[in-house]
Structure 1
Amino acid sequence: MAAHAHTLVLDLALTIRHDGHGGVADDLQDAAGLTGWVRERADDLVDEMPGARDFTADGDALAAVLELRAAVRSLFARAVRPGLPSSADAQRLLPADRALGRLNSAAADVPVVPRLDWPETGEPTAVSRPAGAAGECAALTAALARAAIAFLAGPGRARLRACHAPRCVRYFLKEHPRQEWCKPVCGNRARVARHHERHRSA
């Protein structure tokens, strides 16, 4: 899970995105959206959630994941300080203690134990597996919470940024020192907006 933690937790945060028309879209606005999202990431989840490939979300799973996402995005906002959070989060951030409590509680719902895998023709590897049977909803939120914890406690957190291009609501990992935007199209949009602002005030 650790190798995929930053991808998984960023993917969760990025289910809130710009809709292309000046608004914000939510890829997890219904159970079908969550079902598709989990199945697309089954390879990253299957160690802790063996049924990920056949997962079908219900209302309870959707509510649990949305609560966890709110905690993750609130902690992302804390991680990018003193920079500003994503504009999608500015008015609805959870207090840090509540976000941490929600994250830690979800991670603890399904205890994991280390297991040694050693194929006949390969190297031994340590993997974490659920300590016992768990419902799909608890397995999913626990796996996502642990991915968030691994990311936020790891070196990737220092590269986390909120994109402040007009209409963008994404978080991203800064890949090089001069990177200011999540994607080149956001940089172009920001430059156009600055150009128009300069001409308006001239």
Structure 2
Amino acid sequence: MERRPALELASTIRHDGDGGVTDDLATAEGTARWIHEQGDLPAGGVPAGGLVVDEDLRLGIVALRRAVRALFARAVAPAPPSPADAHRLMPADEALAHVNAVAAREQVVPRLEWPEGGSPAVRLLSAQDDARVRLLAALARSAIDFLAGPQREQLRACTAPRCVRYFVKGHGRQEWCKPSCGNRARAARHYRSHRSAGGEATGA
């Protein structure tokens, strides 16, 4: 399955399964856990293990997430954005400048690698010693690649009750990010139709 670090970053704000919203990056410990779950970030050269996650790094990742979610909201427009932060979105021009600035903190050089009997691949080599800068830059580049690529056209904000996730539409009829959201949305629709029918019967 193709990895989309920018989408994973945006999804660190999510439905908690109990009617509320939780933030996986609310603490340095939670942020470290999320980074570890990502493994080595593509093209970032950032080892998940051995990276010290302090409050400054947490705040840097949260700021980048805020910019990415603002650009995701722009991408899905005129459809509504995720309700989690729709009322406090960063202005799109500010979000764009922030993502570009974070990506520019690391200078990278492409290197072609072509093992005997294998396929050629590009690896980005960095002159940056600070793993935290490399991590943030890798996440920002992921957002740039995603938003400038074809999958942007398939980006959606899930409309199921209480869901706050963005997702990439996998097929023409997909309306929700996962089957459980579809079940919840259909149940809510069924409940509303029955309430409406009951109200009409009472008023008759």
TM over 0.5: yes
Tell me which residue corresponds to 1:10: 7
Q: What one-letter code is carried by the residue in structure 2 that aligns with 1:39?
A: H
Q: What one-letter code is carried by the residue in structure 1 that aligns with 2:101?
A: S
Tell me which residue corresponds to 2:40: 43
d(CA) in 2 for partners of 1:96 and 1:65?
Answer: 18
The Cα shift of 1:156 comes to 0.5
Determine if contact 1:12/1:69 at 8 Å carries over to the other structure. yes
The Cα shift of 1:187 comes to 1.1
The Cα shift of 1:126 comes to 2.1
Tell me which residue corresponds to 1:27: 24
Find out whether 1:165 has 2:160 as its counterpart.
yes
d(CA) in 1 for partners of 2:84 and 2:38?
Answer: 24
The alpha-carbon distance between structure 1 residues 123 and 198, as it changes in their structure 2 partners (threshold 3 A), is: closer
Structure 1 runs of 4+ aligned residues shifted over 6 Å read none
- Higher CA-based Rg: 2
Tell me which residue corresponds to 2:151: 156
Normalising by structure 2, report the TM-score. 0.90
SS at 1:114 equivalent? strand
d(CA) in 2 for partners of 1:80 and 1:100?
Answer: 15
Q: What one-letter code is carried by the residue in structure 1 that aligns with 2:182?
A: G
Aligned residues: 196
Determine if contact 1:162/1:171 at 8 Å carries over to the other structure. yes
Determine if contact 1:60/1:137 at 8 Å carries over to the other structure. no
d(CA) in 2 for partners of 1:77 and 1:124?
Answer: 36
Tell me the alpha carbon deviations over residues 98-137 of structure 1, each in whole angstroms, 9 at most, x when there is no partner: 000110000000111111223345343222121x133122
Normalising by structure 1, report the TM-score. 0.91
d(CA) in 1 for partners of 2:33 and 2:39?
Answer: 10
- What is the alpha-carbon root mean square deviation over aligned residues? 1.5
**Which of 183, 193, 199 is 1:198 aligned to?**
193
What is the percent sequence identity of the aligned residues? 55
The Cα shift of 1:34 comes to 1.2
